[in-house]
């Protein structure tokens, strides 16, 4: 059981959710405001993607990240900023020639994936620890061992904590290899990501299996998507972990009722408190995770 829980809020993501809920933040101003509201509701960490303000689709434009981060930092709300570094790994083979990229491909190298991280130096950035079949189409998310090692090396050099996102056991195995190679500073920080097609299933059994494979002393959290967001959060706390909620993973407060990020944070903190635990402050989260405060 974890009695001092770090609550993360993933406020927008890059998925096709804009047309499914009017409450998905799209512009840098909306994303920053959502992050600030989540922090005021009790989130210690906000996980930030950005979107093209014109189309609502996920973007990796450093200027959009800069505007969102500058707005958060210039506010009076203390919160740990966690920037995604997962954009730029999308590959869809061409129907005409499968050896060539088709529509939807956006494939870049490790330095470009971290361009906004280098510029903005958040306290945390995500590191997706392997390749994954993403959905039922031909889209693949590609994150190779050399890319990951380089990204881990650079984030360690910059003093940015990599959040090791693991979507299945092979990802976890490679993350532990990077730790063994000295590429990840102590304590390593893991996020167990459940329910993404076609990663690990979002069940309590799977959460326990992956938690049991974590290295000794690792900080960790877990999340499930859609209606499993709150059940997996409760299970993670019971197993000694931290939690993540937010509109990246689930857009409903309850069946048919669109949520805001702040409402999801409030809901999960209510669960945490009824379990006899509490949500920690950003300052406490920094100490637990060994972060460099900016």
Domains and CATH numbers, the chain: 4-289 (3.20.20.70)
In contact, 111 and 102? CB cutoff 8 Å: no
Question: What pLDDT is stored for residue 293 in this prediction?
Answer: 61
Averaged pLDDT, groups of 10, the chain, 294 residues long:
98 94 98 98 98 96 98 96 96 95 96 98 98 93 98 98 98 98 97 96 98 97 97 98 98 96 98 98 97 70
Question: What pLDDT is stored for residue 61 in this prediction?
Answer: 97
Q: How many CA atoms lie within 13 A of 239 on its CB side?
A: 25
Distances (CA, A) of 98 to 93, 138, 179, 256: 5, 10, 35, 40
Strand partners, 81: 46
Residues 218-243 pLDDT 10s: 999 999 999 999 999 999 999 999 99
- Contacts of residue 17, defined as CB under 8 A and 6 or more positions apart, other chains included, come to 24, 247, 251
> What CA–CA distance (Å, rounded) separates 146 from 62?
23
Question: What pLDDT is stored for residue 215 in this prediction?
Answer: 97
- b/e string for 149-165 if b means 16 or more Cβ within 10 A? bbbbbbbbeeebbbbbb
For residue 198, whether the previous peptide bond is cis, meaning omega lies within 30 degrees of 0, is yes
Question: What pLDDT is stored for residue 76 in this prediction?
Answer: 87
Question: What pLDDT is stored for residue 117 in this prediction?
Answer: 98
Question: What pLDDT is stored for residue 135 in this prediction?
Answer: 87
């Amino acid at each position: 059981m974890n009695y001092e829980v770090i609550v993360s809020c993933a406020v927008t993501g890059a998925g096709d959710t804009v047309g499914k809920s009017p409450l998905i933040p799209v512009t840098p101003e909306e994303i920053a405001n959502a992050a600030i509201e989540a922090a005021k509701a009790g989130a210690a960490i906000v996980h930030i993607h950005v979107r093209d303000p014109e189309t609502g689709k996920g973007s990796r434009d450093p200027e959009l990240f800069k505007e969102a981060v500058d707005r958060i930092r210039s506010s009076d709300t203390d919160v740990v900023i966690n920037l995604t570094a997962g954009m730029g790994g999308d590959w869809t083979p061409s129907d005409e020639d499968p050896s060539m990229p088709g529509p939807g491909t956006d494939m870049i190298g490790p330095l470009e994936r971290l361009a906004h991280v280098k510029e903005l130096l958040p306290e945390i950035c995500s590191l997706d620890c392997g390749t994954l079949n993403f959905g039922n189409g031909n889209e693949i998310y590609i994150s190779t061992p050399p890319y990951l090692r380089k990204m881990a090396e650079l984030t360690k050099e910059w003093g940015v904590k990599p959040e090791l996102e693991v979507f299945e056991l092979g990802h976890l195995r490679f993350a532990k290899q990077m730790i063994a190679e000295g590429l990840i500073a102590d304590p390593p920080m893991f996020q167990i990501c459940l329910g993404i097609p076609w990663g690990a299933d979002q069940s309590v059994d799977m959460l326990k299996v992956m938690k049991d494979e974590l290295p000794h002393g690792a900080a960790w959290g877990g999340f499930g998507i859609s209606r499993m967001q709150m059940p997996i959060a409760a299970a993670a706390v019971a197993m000694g972990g931290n939690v993540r909620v937010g509109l990246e993973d689930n857009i409903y407060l309850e069946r048919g009722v669109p949520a805001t990020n702040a409402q999801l944070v409030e809901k999960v903190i209510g669960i945490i408190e009824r379990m006899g635990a509490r949500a920690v402050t950003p300052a406490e989260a920094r100490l637990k995770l060994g972060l460099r405060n900016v």
